[in-house]
Homo-oligomer: A and B are copies of this chain.
Amino acid sequence: MLLASFLAALPASTEEPYRQTLVSVERNVHVTDWDVDGRTVTPDCPFNWSVKTRRLKGGKQDGVDVILVNNGATTIVVVPTRGMGIWEVVHGDVRLGWQSPVNEIVHPGHVNLSARGGIGWLEGFGEWLCRCGLESNGAPGIDTIIDNTGAESQVQLNLHGRIAYEPAQEVELVVERKPPYRITVRGTVNERMMFGPNLQLMTEISTEAGSASLQVDDTVTNRGGLPSEFQLLYHVNFGPPILGAGSQLAAPFQLVRPFNAHAEASILQFSEYGPPEAGFVEQVYCVRLFGDEDDNTKVVLHNADRDKGAAMSFSLKTLPYLTIWKNTSTLKDGYVTGIEPGTNYPNNRSHERKAGRVPKLKPDEKYQTSIKIDILANGKEVAAATDDVTKIQAGRQERIETLSNDGLSGADE
């Protein structure tokens, strides 16, 4: 390993990017407790970036691999063992992330997704960004499908699916040797079984040296021999310092609907946040956004002082539905909001299928999404980002609706 990484680290005469395999199930490669940095790979780069791999030990995190990507200004903690989720991002005094009651990075082997009627997923929930999906991404419960014998079969879906608990099979580090010295961690995660879905996520989590931004570019491919449904939702979770009393969510809102009667009661404050509150019951809103002429949109969450925030930019073509999860409970119980772009809303898949919100992929067909996240570290950056939102809104009116007759949001769109 040592020699290999030394050789790999030598400046190449060509402009070929630097590449290092970190995990390969196919070739039985696993590079951990390993470091690389900009001094050796990109001596001309003004930012001393580094990438470290670590295997955690002890507790429920025993055996979890983490990749610490520091671009010289921002540190991103990627977790291959948990579906290439991102545990947190730190840039100066701004942290993207939250404080879950589960304050360790739980190994999938300790979690039974079926537990407690299908909500075992919550026993390891703590990431800043985790994906829900791929077979299904919503509420637990029964869905009826056609099984491998051709018969109708009832499947007990678990909350938010399996992808966040599937270890990555192949992980590679790629660093461009010329400006902007983009650092990319590429990972492949498979969600599959015999007689079941065979869905593959290929993600590229990347950042430019010295920047306060990162990008998550995902490709979902149906690796099976038959057409297959899939669902994908980004559960992106913010706590302090971005979330606090008086924080606001700015976005080009087109349509807002409450998830249930409880959320409906507070719908006029759906984009505003209160302080931590013991016994606060979560409020969920189903949202359609306006986009610009290319269907791109932007969502900004910022604090009350408007000097710290985060912006998420994505395309409504592939992520048309946004879910807002407000859970301003105590700091101990998880003071957090989820800003969740997805292919659908997180109702049980049976409901989403009726509403036409379960995309289907032919064999080998791909579905590509991209989310850019900018950390907003001062008032100027927050103002610029909310200006972008205003431009996309372009004076168009937001519409607030009440619940549909079945008490579930969005079924009749």
Contact = CB atoms under 8 A, between A and B. Distances in A.
A202 to B, nearest CB: 14
Interface string A161-199: 000001111110000000000000000000011111010
Interface stretch (A112-120, A238-246, A347-355): A112-120
A395 interface: no
Interface stretch (A220-228, A250-258, A307-315, A386-394): A220-228
A304 interface: no
Interface in A94-114: 100-102, 104, 107-110, 112-114
A360 to B, nearest CB: 15
A122 B333 contact: no
5 contacts: A25-B58, A101-B198, A110-B167, A226-B330, A332-B363
A84 B406 CA distance: 48
Interface string A53-89: 0101111111101000000000000001000000000
A370 interface: no
B193 A123 contact: yes
Nearest to A104: B25
B192 A102 contact: yes
A28 B58 CA distance: 7
Contact of A23 (B58, B126, B330): B58
A194 B54 contact: no
Determine chain A's interface SS by DSSP, over half rule. loop
Contacts of A329: 225
B25 A226 contact: no
> Which 5 residue pairs of A and B lie closest in terms of their CB atoms, listed nearest first?
A225-B330, A30-B57, A109-B109, A25-B59, A23-B58
A156 B112 CA distance: 13
A12 interface: no
Given A112-B114, A113-B112, A104 B59 contact: no
A102 to B, nearest CB: 6
For chain A, give the interface size range: 35 or more
A281 interface: yes
A24 B62 CA distance: 11
How many protomers of this protein does the assembly include?
Answer: 3
A224 B101 CA distance: 8
A279 interface: yes
Given A23-B58, A58-B171, A122-B193, 9 more contacts: A29-B57, A58-B169, A102-B193, A104-B169, A109-B109, A109-B110, A116-B155, A148-B282, A225-B329
Interface string A115-159: 111010011011000000000000000000000111000111000
A396 interface: no
A380 interface: no
A119 B147 CA distance: 12
A274 B123 CA distance: 43
Given A149-B281, A194-B102, A59 B156 contact: no
B225 A333 contact: yes
Given A122-B194, A334-B194, A62 B262 contact: no
A60 B149 contact: no
Contacts of A45: none
Contacts of A331: 225
Given A123-B193, A198-B332, A223 B29 contact: no
A57 B80 CA distance: 13
A278 interface: yes
A223 B63 CA distance: 26
A50 to B, nearest CB: 17
